[in-house]
Amino acid sequence: MTVTIRKIDEHDFHVLITLFNEFALFEKLPEKMTNSVEQMLIEKEYLTGFVAVNTEDEILGYVTYFFGYYTWIGKSLYMDDLYVRPDFRGVGVGTQLINEVIAFAKAKNCKKLRWQVSEWNKPAIDFYKSLGANVDAVESNCDLVF
Protein backbone atom coordinates (compact mmCIF):
# COMPACT_ATOMS: atom_id res chain seq x y z
CA MET A 1 0.00 0.00 0.00
CA THR A 2 1.31 3.42 -0.96
CA VAL A 3 0.91 6.01 1.79
CA THR A 4 1.65 9.70 1.45
CA ILE A 5 2.00 12.09 4.37
CA ARG A 6 0.85 15.66 3.78
CA LYS A 7 -0.15 18.68 5.84
CA ILE A 8 -3.74 18.92 7.06
CA ASP A 9 -5.82 21.07 4.74
CA GLU A 10 -9.15 22.78 5.35
CA HIS A 11 -10.71 20.37 2.83
CA ASP A 12 -9.86 17.52 5.22
CA PHE A 13 -12.00 18.86 8.08
CA HIS A 14 -15.18 16.93 7.22
CA VAL A 15 -13.30 13.62 7.33
CA LEU A 16 -11.13 14.63 10.28
CA ILE A 17 -14.12 15.38 12.49
CA THR A 18 -15.23 11.78 11.97
CA LEU A 19 -11.76 10.55 12.92
CA PHE A 20 -11.70 12.82 15.98
CA ASN A 21 -14.93 11.17 17.10
CA GLU A 22 -13.49 7.70 16.41
CA PHE A 23 -10.43 8.58 18.49
CA ALA A 24 -12.56 9.87 21.39
CA LEU A 25 -14.51 6.61 21.31
CA PHE A 26 -11.26 4.60 21.20
CA GLU A 27 -10.04 6.55 24.24
CA LYS A 28 -13.32 5.71 26.00
CA LEU A 29 -14.16 9.41 26.30
CA PRO A 30 -16.72 10.17 23.57
CA GLU A 31 -18.51 12.69 25.80
CA LYS A 32 -15.40 14.89 25.80
CA MET A 33 -15.46 15.36 22.02
CA THR A 34 -17.21 18.71 21.43
CA ASN A 35 -15.37 19.99 18.36
CA SER A 36 -17.16 20.60 15.05
CA VAL A 37 -16.27 21.41 11.45
CA GLU A 38 -17.62 24.92 12.02
CA GLN A 39 -15.31 25.40 15.00
CA MET A 40 -12.38 23.97 13.05
CA LEU A 41 -13.00 26.47 10.23
CA ILE A 42 -13.05 29.38 12.68
CA GLU A 43 -9.90 28.16 14.45
CA LYS A 44 -8.10 26.71 11.41
CA GLU A 45 -4.89 28.65 12.03
CA TYR A 46 -4.43 26.58 15.21
CA LEU A 47 -5.12 23.17 13.65
CA THR A 48 -1.71 21.98 12.55
CA GLY A 49 -0.69 18.48 11.65
CA PHE A 50 -0.38 15.84 8.99
CA VAL A 51 -2.64 13.24 7.42
CA ALA A 52 -1.68 9.89 5.96
CA VAL A 53 -3.51 9.25 2.69
CA ASN A 54 -3.61 6.39 0.20
CA THR A 55 -3.50 6.73 -3.60
CA GLU A 56 -7.23 7.61 -3.61
CA ASP A 57 -6.53 10.47 -1.13
CA GLU A 58 -8.50 8.61 1.56
CA ILE A 59 -7.35 9.70 5.03
CA LEU A 60 -5.99 6.67 6.91
CA GLY A 61 -4.84 8.54 10.00
CA TYR A 62 -3.71 11.88 11.32
CA VAL A 63 -1.39 13.55 13.76
CA THR A 64 -1.83 17.02 15.26
CA TYR A 65 0.73 19.17 17.03
CA PHE A 66 1.47 22.62 18.38
CA PHE A 67 4.52 24.47 19.61
CA GLY A 68 5.16 24.92 23.29
CA TYR A 69 7.83 26.39 25.46
CA TYR A 70 9.00 24.36 28.42
CA THR A 71 10.94 26.43 30.94
CA TRP A 72 13.38 23.65 31.71
CA ILE A 73 14.34 22.92 28.10
CA GLY A 74 12.97 25.57 25.72
CA LYS A 75 11.13 25.40 22.40
CA SER A 76 9.36 22.10 21.93
CA LEU A 77 6.59 20.45 19.96
CA TYR A 78 3.58 18.85 21.59
CA MET A 79 1.92 16.03 19.68
CA ASP A 80 -1.74 16.23 20.65
CA ASP A 81 -3.20 13.27 18.75
CA LEU A 82 -1.86 10.38 16.72
CA TYR A 83 -4.68 8.26 15.36
CA VAL A 84 -4.81 5.58 12.68
CA ARG A 85 -8.06 4.03 11.55
CA PRO A 86 -8.34 0.41 12.79
CA ASP A 87 -8.19 -1.12 9.28
CA PHE A 88 -4.80 0.51 8.67
CA ARG A 89 -3.03 -0.22 11.95
CA GLY A 90 0.00 -2.45 12.01
CA VAL A 91 1.14 -1.60 8.47
CA GLY A 92 3.40 1.37 9.27
CA VAL A 93 0.96 4.29 8.92
CA GLY A 94 1.46 5.39 12.54
CA THR A 95 5.21 5.08 12.19
CA GLN A 96 5.17 7.27 9.09
CA LEU A 97 3.03 9.89 10.85
CA ILE A 98 5.17 10.09 13.98
CA ASN A 99 8.39 10.10 11.93
CA GLU A 100 7.01 13.10 10.01
CA VAL A 101 6.35 14.92 13.29
CA ILE A 102 9.80 14.03 14.61
CA ALA A 103 11.45 15.33 11.42
CA PHE A 104 9.33 18.49 11.56
CA ALA A 105 10.28 19.12 15.21
CA LYS A 106 13.97 18.66 14.43
CA ALA A 107 13.74 20.93 11.37
CA LYS A 108 12.17 23.62 13.57
CA ASN A 109 15.01 23.26 16.12
CA CYS A 110 12.76 21.97 18.87
CA LYS A 111 14.46 20.55 21.94
CA LYS A 112 11.93 17.77 22.44
CA LEU A 113 8.67 16.25 21.30
CA ARG A 114 6.13 15.54 24.04
CA TRP A 115 2.85 13.65 24.01
CA GLN A 116 0.59 11.59 26.22
CA VAL A 117 -0.47 7.99 26.09
CA SER A 118 -3.21 6.32 28.10
CA GLU A 119 -1.74 3.96 30.68
CA TRP A 120 -4.06 1.16 29.48
CA ASN A 121 -2.84 1.43 25.86
CA LYS A 122 -0.02 -1.13 26.04
CA PRO A 123 0.47 -1.45 22.24
CA ALA A 124 0.99 2.32 21.94
CA ILE A 125 3.33 2.39 24.95
CA ASP A 126 5.42 -0.41 23.45
CA PHE A 127 5.47 1.38 20.08
CA TYR A 128 6.61 4.66 21.64
CA LYS A 129 9.29 2.91 23.68
CA SER A 130 10.55 1.22 20.51
CA LEU A 131 11.14 4.73 19.12
CA GLY A 132 13.26 5.58 22.15
CA ALA A 133 10.63 7.61 24.03
CA ASN A 134 10.68 7.75 27.81
CA VAL A 135 7.19 6.85 29.03
CA ASP A 136 6.70 7.75 32.68
CA ALA A 137 3.86 8.18 35.15
CA VAL A 138 5.28 11.19 36.94
CA GLU A 139 2.70 13.82 36.01
CA SER A 140 -1.07 13.91 35.70
CA ASN A 141 -3.27 15.97 33.41
CA CYS A 142 -4.89 19.11 34.77
CA ASP A 143 -7.66 20.47 32.56
CA LEU A 144 -9.65 23.62 33.21
CA VAL A 145 -12.40 23.61 30.59
CA PHE A 146 -14.28 26.82 29.79
Catalytic site residues? 128
Supply φ then ψ for residue 114, to 5 degrees: -125, 145
Instruction: Give CA angle at 78 (73, 82), nearest 5°.
Output: 145
Q: How far apart are the C-alpha atoms of 76 and 74, rounded to whole Å?
A: 6
